[in-house]
Amino acid sequence: METETSIQQMKELAQKLNEAARAYYQEDREIMSNLEYDALYDRLQSLEKETGTVLAGSPTISVGYEAVNSLPKENHESPMLSLDKTKDREVLRDFIGTHRTLLSWKLDGLTIVLTYENGELQKAVTRGNGTTGEVITNNARVFCNIPLRIPFQGRLVLRGEAIITYSDFEKINESIGDADAQYKNPRNLCSGSVRQLNNEITAKRNVRFYAFSLVSAENADMHNSREYQLQWLASQGFDIVEYRIVTGETLDEAMDYFAEAVSRNDFPSDGLVALYDDIAFGDSLGRTAKFPRNAFAFKWADEIRETHLLEIEWSPSRTGLINPVAVFEPVELEGTTVSRASVHNVSIVKELELGIGDVIQVYKANMIIPQIADNLTRSSNLIIPDRCPACSHEAKVIKENDVEALYCMNPDCAAKKIKAFTLFVSRDAMNIDGLSEATLEKFIARGYIHNFGDIFEIEKCRDEITSMEGFGEKSFDNLLTSLEKARETTLPRIIYSLGISNIGLANAKVICRYFDNDLNKIRHASMEEISAIDGIGPVIARNMADYFAKEDNNRKLDHLLSHLIIQKEEQTGEQIFAGLNFVITGSVEHFSNRSEVKTLIESLGGKVTGSVTGKTNYLINNDTTSGSSKNKKAKELGIPIISEEDFLKMVSKHV
């Protein structure tokens, strides 16, 4: 108990000292005196010596950043099995029976195995397929809370879950202006963060580790108790997963606690795990072909509520796409009040046969994102607007790739303008910090910026902007610093930042590479020349040719270019995919999102397109046997369908 108190003090001291250092060195302000800092630092060092524990992030140590070429694979000492699962509380109660059982959160992140030798972190390996994982030791060293040194000197192997909290997930997404580039959920972000080749990126993602199982501790007596194991790990400096001790008789109280807490937790969880406390008894039960018999998982059932559809709001985007959002009578879902859900496009509106007043069923996908599950009355009385809600100009339903969507036809729509500037400053475009969508809206409304080049001339509006509420001298100077950094950029980023419809960063790179990074050639290229590029279809070609055919667009681009220094993109790695075209579909697990897969393919000379055609060489889909339209098309054309694992094997042979 005394050790746990000391470790808690160490965490608090480290946080205070790191905040003080950040304020002093990065923000040019002092929040404590040197005397106070030194006293706290000495106290932290004393506690580390007393407990024999040094936590990741401690200011008493310096963990250098390191980049590697690849993540080596390694077999686990003992296989990591999946758990049998249920959504029925009574099935769980039958499993527990009269046995003393630990009931804990089933955290939704990435399982990691840690190995310590002589008190030092020696190795960290991902779960992988349960038999073989990836070695991510460099990355584990920069997790927020992993002990780098512990008092136990024997060999220790333990398992836990790496996660990113909802609040950190939201902060990271808020820093990404383009909604298409944002991460879909904390688990995907965590998975990609843990597998980074450069651990400096991992360090910025605030990955946390929670121990849930001790595999082995050399010559240590664990008193035949799983609970003792967890408490012992806590005494070594590990954060452990929260748990309750239950039997079948006391299960309800604990379940009610977890069911209530899940809606307010800052960490992602997709259920609970029940594990027998008696180690010898649990181990004696053995395992089935797939599952251990000493543990059972409980998955939350989707909570579905009926409500009435009140209206459909139509929200314009930078491309002119007008997204439908369902507004319904508020209902309680997973502990929060929900009254809105995205419907995505006109095709889904029609598929659900939506109408005002319909009785609809709503739920939270993964207990987070509100969705419409079904429409029980299907009146189909909804009228698709023919005017843009932002500018009142003509709106049309356009069908592309079998999906119908509503578009604003006015090129000068105010909503488009704000969204266009938001894309322009986003991470994958010009990467300008300090310009949120709300700030851009104010700047546009006050006439400070009319086109992209005006952003780099914002210094002339200093007096007006620094007098705005919430935007003082410090914020303005930070913006100028960010602008100065953004001046040096690459041609693909510039092309992408212009917001030409259907042209993402990946397509921009392909086009720039084809035209030898010569902007003059790109500006004067015909639709036929552009569509001749492998992977660039007629829609993209027409959009690009039409954009540069307009004199006003070229005038604004010249204004922007007068403020920029264009650097040539460096080609890294052997171009093993030169001449190959890939299509990526479905979810990914070894990357944060599909954009990261695209970036890797392009860095190795390949191209990524959106649809399967005769020019496609590989379709990447983790569900290789699904009956999706892309899988069917690939099979018809004889195109190989490969999993993410297959793709990574292709890369690892050469990189």
Q: Which residue among 16, 73, 106, 632 is the active-site one?
A: 106
Per-residue CA distances from 380 to 252, 352, 357, 377, 424 (Å): 43, 8, 10, 9, 38
> Torsions phi, psi of 480, nearest 5?
-65, -40
> Torsions phi, psi of 131, nearest 5?
-105, -40
* Token code pair at residue 305: 């509520």
Nearest to 269 by CA among 291, 299, 244: 299
Split at pLDDT 50, 70, 90, the class of 473 is confident
Does residue 648 register a pLDDT over 50?
Answer: yes
Residues whose CB falls within 8 Å of the CB of residue 625, separated by 6 or more in sequence, listed in order:
631
**Phi-psi sector, 447: left (phi>0), alpha (psi -120 to 50), beta:** left
Rounded to 5°, the CA angle 164-263-273 comes to 70
Nearest to 324 by CA among 288, 349, 301: 349
Per-residue CA distances from 332 to 101, 127, 356, 362 (Å): 31, 36, 21, 10
For residue range 572-603, what is the model confidence (pLDDT) as tens digits?
556 788 888 899 987 777 776 777 788 788 77
Element (H, E) at 126: strand 120-126
- How many Å separate Cα 274 from the centre of its chain? 29
For residue range 5-42, what is the model confidence (pLDDT) as tens digits?
888 888 889 888 887 776 654 444 557 665 677 678 87
For residue range 387-441, what is the model confidence (pLDDT) as tens digits?
988 788 899 999 876 778 899 898 777 777 887 888 899 888 899 988 888 888 7
Instruction: Spell 522-548 as b/e; 16+ CB within 10 A means b.
Output: bbebebeebbebebbbeebbebbbebb
**Phi-psi sector, 585: left (phi>0), alpha (psi -120 to 50), beta:** beta
Least confident of 154-158, 262-266, 292-296: 262-266
User: What pTM value is reported for the model?
Assistant: 0.51
Overall average pLDDT of the 172-184 stretch: 63
Element (H, E) at 147: strand 147-149
Judged on CB neighbours under 10 Å (0-12, 13-18, 19+), 388 is: buried
Are 55 and 118 within 8 A, CB to CB? no
| Higher per-residue confidence, 34 vs 315 | 315
Residue type, 22: R
- What is the three-state SS of 357-408? CCEEEEEEECCCEEEEEEECCCCCCCCCCCECCCCCCEEEEEEECCEEEEEE
Split at pLDDT 50, 70, 90, the class of 213 is very high
Cα 406 to Cα 385: distance, rounded to the nearest angstrom: 8
16 is catalytic: no
